[in-house]
Amino acid sequence: MRSHYSEADFYDYDPRTDIDPLCCCEFFDRNNERSHLLVKWCCCFCQSASAAESNTSCKLNEKTVRSMLLTFQDRLRIPWRGGAKQITLDVVITLVILIATLLMAAINYQFCLIVFSLMLLALLYVKHYSALSHTKTKFFLVWFFGSCVYLLVLFELTVPLLEILFVENAVLVLLMTLGFYCLMKAKLRATKGDLAGLLDVNGQLDKVPKDTQVIMFSDRDDSDDGSTDADVGLRLTCQLCRKYVPPRTYHCKVCSACVVRQDHHNVWLNCCIGKSNHRFYLAGCCFTLMALVVFANLSLTAVCRPTPIFTLYGITVMMPEDCNDIFFQYDIALCFTGSLYALMMAAFITIALAKQFWFITIGISYDEWRRGDHVKRRNVFWNWKAFCLGQ
């Protein structure tokens, strides 16, 4: 689902360069006029009322209704620094569906099974559909981070914390912080991976400044296949971007950009995973996986009857033993279903990590494997060393 205002996506308003910056409640509306969240609300009603009065049939015409709806959607904003930020409807709907689903799953055992099964099928279908249509959507990003925030709030407000040690909670908070930081870093570095500044196909060699030439030279040296390009004149070209690209660079149809050593387009982060952010992505997945497992373990042992497994540095690690009568109390059932949901997320992340580890081990990226491209490969040790050093 794409927003109505595609122009707004490319609007790069910077409050630092504006002489008269917007306050937190002001924004530019769809007519590019300066507006405030609180002012003009009455004018909107006055305008509608006057339009209704002037109409002989005493009905609001279709154009006015559409104008009102568009104005309302334009005003659906939260105060933000440098101007009110718009809340798109797909973000709101995703959050509402997520929270309603998880609250509904805690009603009883049958609801739990039905809701989680339907959720799984729906997510798989939407993922498949978005992969086919190459649409860039925020649905998965909002769903994933909304799920993490929901589980964190659930843990800190509902799980019986008087049964959990301070150290156990500190470990969970630390893992969640690290996971969030790494994934956020991966998303921010995704924009750097685009090759917007490369030489155009139509450009002449004589007109290129020396700085660009030096960058091209160093790019070729960084590549592990640089030695095979004995011919100086041979260059890879992206026909969609109409630019010269370094080796092992692939075009992403969703991002509409070429990405150096693209592994895959990740729908959950809504960005491409490539050379610039692959390691952060992998670290983020590991930390998030550990955080989800720790969350599920602490929650389940708090609401079910635990049995101790072993003791590590004075902290007893337990497993849930008896989870009968879990739906007798709604808040206990919320913790239980939240733990099941965390384990489901952990299972998905485990599958993704297993794929990543396999492809790093054999030295190719996921996209290369899917296309059947031939890539020069070496032994396992060298592949992991190249990955860790970012070569």
Partner 1 sequence: MITFRLSNGVYAYVAYLVLMVYFLWPGRFASWYDYIEGENIYDQLIRKTTKNISLMRNGLRCDYSEVIEENLSIYRPPYTEDIINNNVRLGGEYYPEDCLPSFSTAIIVPYRQRERQLNQFLIYMHNYLRRQRIHYRIFVIEQYDPKPFNRAKLFNIGALIAMRLDYPCLVLHDVDLMPMNLGHLYACSRKPRHMCSSLDVFRYNLPYRELFGGVVAIESSVFLNINGMSNMFSGWGGEDDDLYRRLQNKQIEICRFSPSYSQYTMLQHRKETPNKDRVAFLKNGKLRYNTDGLKSLVYKEVDFKLHNLFTHVLVET
Q: Which of 44, 161, 343, 386 binds partner 1 (CB under 8 A)?
A: 161
User: To 10 degrees, the CA torsion angle through 365, 370, 372, 374?
Assistant: -10
Nearer to partner 1, 190 or 303 (CB): 303
Q: Which of 98, 115, 302, 346 binds partner 1 (CB under 8 A)?
A: 302
Nearer to partner 1, 239 or 324 (CB): 324
Say if CB 323 and CB 256 are below 8 A apart: no
Tell me the closest approach of the beta carbon of residue 346 to partner 1, in angstroms.
21
173 binds partner 1 (CB under 8 A): yes
Q: Which of 7, 9, 18, 156 binds partner 1 (CB under 8 A)?
A: 156
Q: Which residues contact 216 (CB under 8 A, 6 or more apart)?
A: 199, 244
Cα–Cα distance, 257 to 238 (Å, whole number) = 10
Nearer to partner 1, 171 or 254 (CB): 171
Q: Which of 162, 230, 232, 234 binds partner 1 (CB under 8 A)?
A: 162
In the block, residue with structure tokens 């937190």: 24
Nearer to partner 1, 228 or 329 (CB): 329
Tell me the closest approach of the beta carbon of residue 20 to partner 1, in angstroms.
15
81 binds partner 1 (CB under 8 A): yes
Residue 252 CB neighbours (<10 A): 22
Q: Which two tokens stand for residue 167?
A: 């150290």
Q: Which of 94, 223, 288, 301 binds partner 1 (CB under 8 A)?
A: 301
Cα–Cα distance, 2 to 316 (Å, whole number) = 49
In the block, residue with structure tokens 């492809």: 359
Q: Which of 203, 226, 308, 390 binds partner 1 (CB under 8 A)?
A: 308
Burial of 298 (0-12, 13-18, 19+ CB in 10 A): buried
Q: Which of 146, 306, 338, 363 binds partner 1 (CB under 8 A)?
A: 306
Beta-ladder partners of 35: 27
SS3 state of residue 27: strand
In the block, residue with structure tokens 């070496």: 378
Pick the stretch among 44-52, 154-162, 190-198, 284-292 that binds partner 1 (CB under 8 A). 154-162
170 binds partner 1 (CB under 8 A): yes
Binding interface with partner 1 (CB under 8 A): 15-16, 81, 156, 161-166, 168-170, 173, 301-302, 305-308, 316, 318, 322, 324-325, 328-329
